[in-house]
Amino acid sequence: MEYLSNILFALILLLGVGYFTRNVKRLIRNINLGQAVDVNDNKSERWRNMVMIALGQSKMVRRPIAGVLHVVVYIGFIIINIEVLEIILDGLFGTHRIGLKLLPLGVYGFLIGAFEVLACLVFVSVIIFWIRRNVIKLARFWKSEMTNWPKNDGNIILYFEMVLMTLFLVMNATDVHFQALNSGNIVSQNIVPLFGSASEGTLHIIERSAWWLHIVGILIFLNYLYFSKHLHILLAFPNTYYGSLKPKGAFNNLDSVTNEVKMMMDPDADPFAVPAEDAEDEVPAKFGASDVQDLNWLQLLNAYTCTECGRCTSECPANQTGKKLSPRKIMMDTRDRMEEVGKNIDANNGEFKEDGKQLLDDYITKEELWACTSCNACVETCPVSIDPLSIILEMRRYLVMEQSAAPSELNNMMTNIENNGAPWPYNQMDRLNWKNE
């Protein structure tokens, strides 16, 4: 019986990590629903971006209050998780504070002391985050797309962090042996009086409970990620690595269109020529995107990475002036539809079964797409290099090239370009008239 808790611990750990792994595989499968895109260039610049933007949080601190608080929570989160290593070792081997055996007391005390200070700072920061969301009600957290799940999700994460930090401190405060060492209990010693009259036995029960709840809580939180905007703590790294290195104004040229245009411009091209054997594969099913499978995998990774902070939406000129467009909603819709498609595939033995729905219209409306000024404010401000504009453009391409569904004024503009080489109905032969006016 003495190994019961070790076995139980191993089982819980296996279950927690196992379910998470299963969902990570599903996540990768869903991202791979997207089209191929070549992002293997400039590796050193990409690493630099990842280190600066994801690890270094360089874009987070552009908004100083949220940025600094986020850095505190982020550093706290990463460093305190070193403690989880000890918990896992203790749990598996039935030891208690194995770190004390492996490290000199001074070093161990310093580490735990640092964790305690960080836990305290994280707790305070998270409270401020909660107040910003729920009391001050910052506008970007109360936009129309931030109802129901997205709203609750934001708060649940904060509660999780509060509970985990509390459990960590309570665990230390009620550990009589640890307190007796009087090293590293910099914060927890102040909590000890709260348990003033409790017997050693009671304290031990509280300590054990806090210990178990802490590790179980962490495993639940780990598994919560897949269902939450909180995935950004992992995906921010690949997302900033693969983020665009080109000037923001450079929109991609569609190769499939280039081939067609070259054919049209080439006087020697034979329109009746039999296509080469493998040519069939190169012709895309459609131009632009009406559903998630038409987007590229990087755009889908973007969608999973979005943490719904809403900086993009708060900078968007269309959204600021009351239009329906919200770049954050574009990302949230893309993710929701991707999840729907993923579940469909799971339910149909790995094959997507037509469900009569698509990203366009069922999630993102034309009105939203046509409200974009392509100003790149959303791209510039995103702290994790997400590009909502590229999705908007891809969907406009579908509307125009597959459905001829541009607003009529734009059709007029395009007809003018086609006929006169200018967006207005002026004759190309009059282009130099200004010289003599």
Partner 1 sequence: MSEVLKVPTMAEFMAQGKQPEVLFWVGCAGSFDDRAKKITKAFVKLLNKANVEFAVLGTEESCTGDPAKRSGNEFLFQMQAVTNIEVLNAYEVKKIVTACPHCFNTIKNEYPGLGGNYEVMHHTQFLKSLLDDGRLTVQGGQFKGKRITFHDPCYLGRANNVYEAPRELIKKLEAELVEMKNCRRNGLCCGAGGAQMFKEPEKGDKDVNVERTEQALDIKPEIIAAGCPFCNTMMTDGVKAKEKENDVAVMDVAELIANAQDL
Write out the residues near partner 1 by the rule CB under 8 A: 246-251, 253-254, 257-258, 260-262, 264-265, 287-288, 315, 317-318, 320-325, 367, 370-377, 379-381, 393, 395-401, 406-407, 409-410, 412-414, 417-418, 421-424, 426, 428-435, 437
Q: How far is the CB of 392 from partner 1 (least distance, A)?
A: 9
Which tokens is 297 given?
Answer: 């995998």
As a whole number of angstroms, the distance between CA 308 and CA 331 comes to: 8
Q: How far is CA 285 from CA 36, 357, 362, 423, in A?
A: 14, 17, 21, 30
- Alpha helical stretches, state H, 94-147: 99-102, 105-134
Q: How far is the CB of 396 from partner 1 (least distance, A)?
A: 3
As a whole number of angstroms, the distance between CA 94 and CA 4 comes to: 10
Q: How far is the CB of 216 from partner 1 (least distance, A)?
A: 44
Task: For residue 309, give every residue at least 6 positions away whose Cβ sits within 8 Å of its Cβ, in sequence order, or none.
Answer: 66, 140, 328, 383
When the beta carbons of 255 and 355 are compared against partner 1, the nearer one is 255
Rounded to 5°, angle at Cα 419 from 415 and 423: 55
How crowded is the C-beta side of 284, counted as CA atoms within 13 Å?
Answer: 20
Q: Nearest 5°: phi and psi at 364? A: -105, 125
As a whole number of angstroms, the distance between CA 171 and CA 208 comes to: 7
Q: How far is the CB of 62 from partner 1 (least distance, A)?
A: 9
Q: How far is the CB of 278 from partner 1 (least distance, A)?
A: 23
Q: How far is the CB of 313 from partner 1 (least distance, A)?
A: 14
When the beta carbons of 193 and 271 are compared against partner 1, the nearer one is 271
As a whole number of angstroms, the distance between CA 158 and CA 69 comes to: 13
Centre a 10 Å sphere on the Cβ of residue 333 and count the other Cβ atoms it contains: 22
Q: How far is the CB of 436 from partner 1 (least distance, A)?
A: 9
When the beta carbons of 156 and 401 are compared against partner 1, the nearer one is 401
When the beta carbons of 106 and 407 are compared against partner 1, the nearer one is 407
When the beta carbons of 253 and 349 are compared against partner 1, the nearer one is 253
When the beta carbons of 121 and 401 are compared against partner 1, the nearer one is 401
When the beta carbons of 217 and 317 are compared against partner 1, the nearer one is 317
When the beta carbons of 18 and 425 are compared against partner 1, the nearer one is 425
Task: For residue 36, give every residue at least 6 positions away whose Cβ sits within 8 Å of its Cβ, in sequence order, or none.
Answer: 296, 297
When the beta carbons of 56 and 317 are compared against partner 1, the nearer one is 317
As a whole number of angstroms, the distance between CA 162 and CA 169 comes to: 11
Q: How far is the CB of 76 from partner 1 (least distance, A)?
A: 29
Rounded to 5°, angle at Cα 387 from 386 and 393: 160
Q: How far is the CB of 255 from partner 1 (least distance, A)?
A: 9
| Local structure of residue 253 (DSSP, 8 states) | P
As a whole number of angstroms, the distance between CA 245 and CA 45 comes to: 8
